[in-house]
Structure 1
Amino acid sequence: MESIAWMAWTLPTAIFFAALACTLATMTWLAATYPETERVGILRIPTTRGDRLFISLIVAAVIHLVWIGLVGTNPIASLPIGEEGIEISSLWLASGISLVTAALIFRTV
Protein backbone atom coordinates (compact mmCIF):
# COMPACT_ATOMS: atom_id res chain seq x y z
CA MET A 1 0.00 0.00 0.00
CA GLU A 2 2.98 2.24 0.47
CA SER A 3 3.56 2.44 -3.30
CA ILE A 4 0.42 4.57 -3.76
CA ALA A 5 0.86 6.67 -0.64
CA TRP A 6 1.72 9.69 -2.81
CA MET A 7 -1.74 9.80 -4.37
CA ALA A 8 -3.91 12.59 -3.04
CA TRP A 9 -7.29 10.96 -2.42
CA THR A 10 -9.06 14.08 -1.27
CA LEU A 11 -12.61 15.37 -1.59
CA PRO A 12 -11.84 17.23 -4.85
CA THR A 13 -10.31 14.04 -6.27
CA ALA A 14 -13.39 12.04 -5.30
CA ILE A 15 -15.68 14.67 -6.83
CA PHE A 16 -13.63 14.64 -10.04
CA PHE A 17 -13.87 10.87 -10.45
CA ALA A 18 -17.57 10.84 -9.55
CA ALA A 19 -18.23 13.58 -12.14
CA LEU A 20 -16.21 11.66 -14.72
CA ALA A 21 -18.18 8.47 -14.03
CA CYS A 22 -21.48 10.37 -14.32
CA THR A 23 -20.32 11.96 -17.55
CA LEU A 24 -19.38 8.61 -19.07
CA ALA A 25 -22.67 7.06 -17.94
CA THR A 26 -24.61 9.95 -19.44
CA MET A 27 -22.64 9.75 -22.69
CA THR A 28 -23.34 6.00 -22.89
CA TRP A 29 -27.05 6.56 -22.28
CA LEU A 30 -27.15 9.33 -24.90
CA ALA A 31 -25.37 7.14 -27.46
CA ALA A 32 -27.87 4.31 -26.90
CA THR A 33 -30.98 6.52 -26.76
CA TYR A 34 -30.13 9.15 -29.37
CA PRO A 35 -27.75 7.80 -32.01
CA GLU A 36 -25.24 10.49 -32.75
CA THR A 37 -24.41 12.08 -36.03
CA GLU A 38 -21.15 13.78 -36.75
CA ARG A 39 -21.20 17.55 -36.52
CA VAL A 40 -18.86 20.09 -38.09
CA GLY A 41 -18.00 22.99 -35.80
CA ILE A 42 -15.28 25.62 -35.61
CA LEU A 43 -12.55 23.02 -36.19
CA ARG A 44 -14.09 22.29 -39.60
CA ILE A 45 -13.75 18.55 -39.06
CA PRO A 46 -16.58 16.14 -38.24
CA THR A 47 -16.72 15.38 -34.50
CA THR A 48 -18.93 13.17 -32.34
CA ARG A 49 -19.91 13.52 -28.68
CA GLY A 50 -17.01 11.27 -27.73
CA ASP A 51 -14.55 13.42 -29.66
CA ARG A 52 -15.79 16.56 -27.93
CA LEU A 53 -15.59 14.85 -24.52
CA PHE A 54 -12.00 13.77 -25.23
CA ILE A 55 -11.04 17.29 -26.35
CA SER A 56 -12.64 18.85 -23.27
CA LEU A 57 -10.85 16.42 -20.91
CA ILE A 58 -7.48 17.17 -22.54
CA VAL A 59 -8.14 20.92 -22.31
CA ALA A 60 -9.18 20.55 -18.64
CA ALA A 61 -5.92 18.72 -17.88
CA VAL A 62 -3.89 21.44 -19.60
CA ILE A 63 -5.78 24.19 -17.75
CA HIS A 64 -5.10 22.53 -14.40
CA LEU A 65 -1.41 21.93 -15.16
CA VAL A 66 -0.91 25.53 -16.28
CA TRP A 67 -2.84 26.76 -13.22
CA ILE A 68 -0.65 24.72 -10.87
CA GLY A 69 2.48 25.96 -12.64
CA LEU A 70 1.53 29.64 -12.64
CA VAL A 71 -0.77 30.12 -9.63
CA GLY A 72 -0.20 27.09 -7.42
CA THR A 73 -2.65 25.41 -5.06
CA ASN A 74 -2.67 27.92 -2.23
CA PRO A 75 -5.89 28.17 -0.24
CA ILE A 76 -8.13 31.08 -1.17
CA ALA A 77 -10.69 30.69 1.61
CA SER A 78 -11.33 28.75 4.79
CA LEU A 79 -14.69 27.40 5.87
CA PRO A 80 -15.39 27.15 9.61
CA ILE A 81 -16.27 23.44 9.56
CA GLY A 82 -14.89 21.19 12.25
CA GLU A 83 -12.12 22.06 14.67
CA GLU A 84 -9.54 23.16 12.13
CA GLY A 85 -11.83 24.27 9.31
CA ILE A 86 -11.67 23.34 5.64
CA GLU A 87 -9.44 25.27 3.27
CA ILE A 88 -10.65 25.89 -0.27
CA SER A 89 -7.87 25.48 -2.83
CA SER A 90 -7.40 27.84 -5.75
CA LEU A 91 -7.70 24.77 -7.98
CA TRP A 92 -11.47 25.09 -7.64
CA LEU A 93 -11.20 28.22 -9.80
CA ALA A 94 -9.34 26.19 -12.44
CA SER A 95 -12.09 23.58 -12.24
CA GLY A 96 -14.72 26.25 -12.86
CA ILE A 97 -12.78 27.54 -15.85
CA SER A 98 -12.53 23.96 -17.13
CA LEU A 99 -16.29 23.44 -16.84
CA VAL A 100 -17.02 26.62 -18.78
CA THR A 101 -14.47 25.60 -21.41
CA ALA A 102 -16.02 22.12 -21.69
CA ALA A 103 -19.46 23.65 -22.23
CA LEU A 104 -18.05 25.89 -24.96
CA ILE A 105 -16.33 22.93 -26.61
CA PHE A 106 -19.55 20.90 -26.63
CA ARG A 107 -21.46 23.83 -28.15
CA THR A 108 -18.95 24.96 -30.77
CA VAL A 109 -16.61 22.13 -31.79
Structure 2
Amino acid sequence: MENIAWMAWTLPTAIFFVLLACTLAVMTWLAIAYPEAERVGVLRIPTTRGDRLFISLIMAAVIHLVWIGLVGTDTILTLPVGEAGIELSSLWLGTVISLVSAVAIFRTV
Protein backbone atom coordinates (compact mmCIF):
# COMPACT_ATOMS: atom_id res chain seq x y z
CA MET A 1 0.00 0.00 0.00
CA GLU A 2 2.91 2.36 0.62
CA ASN A 3 3.97 2.11 -3.02
CA ILE A 4 0.84 3.91 -4.19
CA ALA A 5 0.85 6.67 -1.56
CA TRP A 6 1.58 9.25 -4.28
CA MET A 7 -1.82 8.46 -5.85
CA ALA A 8 -3.62 10.80 -3.44
CA TRP A 9 -6.15 13.54 -4.06
CA THR A 10 -3.79 16.48 -4.36
CA LEU A 11 -4.22 20.06 -5.53
CA PRO A 12 -2.91 19.28 -9.06
CA THR A 13 -5.34 16.35 -9.29
CA ALA A 14 -8.24 18.52 -8.17
CA ILE A 15 -7.30 21.25 -10.64
CA PHE A 16 -7.09 18.68 -13.44
CA PHE A 17 -10.60 17.37 -12.80
CA VAL A 18 -12.08 20.85 -12.39
CA LEU A 19 -10.51 21.92 -15.69
CA LEU A 20 -11.72 18.72 -17.35
CA ALA A 21 -15.28 19.40 -16.16
CA CYS A 22 -15.04 23.00 -17.40
CA THR A 23 -13.72 21.78 -20.75
CA LEU A 24 -16.60 19.36 -21.15
CA ALA A 25 -19.10 22.09 -20.20
CA VAL A 26 -17.64 24.52 -22.72
CA MET A 27 -17.51 21.86 -25.45
CA THR A 28 -21.15 20.96 -24.77
CA TRP A 29 -22.11 24.61 -25.05
CA LEU A 30 -20.08 24.96 -28.28
CA ALA A 31 -21.75 21.88 -29.77
CA ILE A 32 -25.17 23.39 -29.09
CA ALA A 33 -24.38 26.99 -30.01
CA TYR A 34 -22.10 26.29 -32.98
CA PRO A 35 -22.73 22.89 -34.56
CA GLU A 36 -19.59 21.77 -36.32
CA ALA A 37 -18.70 19.85 -39.40
CA GLU A 38 -15.87 17.36 -39.31
CA ARG A 39 -12.55 18.74 -40.46
CA VAL A 40 -9.47 17.08 -41.86
CA GLY A 41 -6.13 18.07 -40.36
CA VAL A 42 -2.61 16.69 -40.43
CA LEU A 43 -3.81 13.16 -39.66
CA ARG A 44 -5.82 13.22 -42.91
CA ILE A 45 -8.87 11.77 -41.16
CA PRO A 46 -12.06 13.63 -40.34
CA THR A 47 -12.16 14.66 -36.65
CA THR A 48 -14.62 16.46 -34.41
CA ARG A 49 -14.03 18.49 -31.26
CA GLY A 50 -14.66 15.38 -29.19
CA ASP A 51 -12.09 13.39 -31.16
CA ARG A 52 -9.49 16.09 -30.65
CA LEU A 53 -10.30 16.27 -26.92
CA PHE A 54 -9.88 12.50 -26.61
CA ILE A 55 -6.55 12.58 -28.47
CA SER A 56 -5.28 15.44 -26.29
CA LEU A 57 -6.33 13.68 -23.05
CA ILE A 58 -4.56 10.49 -24.09
CA MET A 59 -1.50 12.56 -25.02
CA ALA A 60 -1.60 14.33 -21.62
CA ALA A 61 -1.74 10.99 -19.81
CA VAL A 62 1.22 9.66 -21.79
CA ILE A 63 3.23 12.84 -21.23
CA HIS A 64 2.60 12.71 -17.48
CA LEU A 65 3.46 9.03 -17.19
CA VAL A 66 6.67 9.48 -19.16
CA TRP A 67 7.51 12.58 -17.10
CA ILE A 68 7.03 10.71 -13.81
CA GLY A 69 9.07 7.78 -15.12
CA LEU A 70 11.99 9.81 -16.46
CA VAL A 71 12.09 13.01 -14.39
CA GLY A 72 10.10 12.29 -11.25
CA THR A 73 8.08 14.67 -9.11
CA ASP A 74 10.76 16.41 -7.07
CA THR A 75 10.15 19.92 -5.79
CA ILE A 76 11.61 22.56 -8.07
CA LEU A 77 10.37 25.70 -6.34
CA THR A 78 8.93 26.75 -3.00
CA LEU A 79 6.73 29.83 -3.05
CA PRO A 80 6.82 31.94 0.13
CA VAL A 81 3.15 31.74 1.08
CA GLY A 82 2.35 31.53 4.76
CA GLU A 83 4.50 29.69 7.28
CA ALA A 84 5.26 26.55 5.27
CA GLY A 85 5.14 27.88 1.74
CA ILE A 86 3.82 26.13 -1.35
CA GLU A 87 6.06 23.56 -3.01
CA LEU A 88 5.80 23.26 -6.79
CA SER A 89 6.54 19.85 -8.26
CA SER A 90 8.45 19.34 -11.49
CA LEU A 91 5.28 17.64 -12.73
CA TRP A 92 3.84 21.11 -13.36
CA LEU A 93 6.32 21.41 -16.23
CA GLY A 94 4.84 18.20 -17.66
CA THR A 95 1.42 19.79 -17.32
CA VAL A 96 2.55 22.86 -19.27
CA ILE A 97 3.90 20.57 -22.01
CA SER A 98 0.55 18.74 -22.03
CA LEU A 99 -1.38 21.99 -22.40
CA VAL A 100 0.85 23.12 -25.27
CA SER A 101 0.37 19.75 -26.99
CA ALA A 102 -3.42 20.01 -26.48
CA VAL A 103 -3.47 23.42 -28.15
CA ALA A 104 -1.40 22.02 -31.03
CA ILE A 105 -3.78 19.08 -31.39
CA PHE A 106 -6.87 21.28 -31.41
CA ARG A 107 -5.31 23.61 -34.00
CA THR A 108 -3.82 21.04 -36.39
CA VAL A 109 -5.60 17.69 -36.09
TM-score range normalised by the length of the shorter chain: over 0.9
Is it true that 1:13 corresponds to 2:49 in the alignment? no
Q: Give the TM-score normalised by the residue count of structure 1.
A: 0.92
Following superposition, the deviation at residue 80 of structure 1 comes to: 1.4
Q: Distance in 2 between matches of 1:23 and 1:84?
A: 33
Show the counterpart of 2:52.
52
Q: Distance in 2 between matches of 1:13 and 1:94?
A: 13
Q: Give aligned-pair identity as a percent.
A: 78
Following superposition, the deviation at residue 82 of structure 1 comes to: 2.2
Show the counterpart of 1:78.
78
In structure 2, the residue corresponding to 1:76 is in which secondary structure?
strand
Gaps of 5+ in 1: none
Following superposition, the deviation at residue 91 of structure 1 comes to: 0.6
What residue identity is the alignment partner of 1:101? Answer: S
Q: Give the TM-score normalised by the residue count of structure 2.
A: 0.92
Q: Deviations over 1:24-52 (max 9, x none)?
A: 00000000011111000000000000000
Instruction: Give the ranges of 4+ consecutive aligned residues of structure 1 lying more than 2 Å apart after TM superposition.
Output: none
Gaps of 5+ in 2: none
In structure 2, the residue corresponding to 1:81 is in which secondary structure?
coil
Count of aligned positions: 105
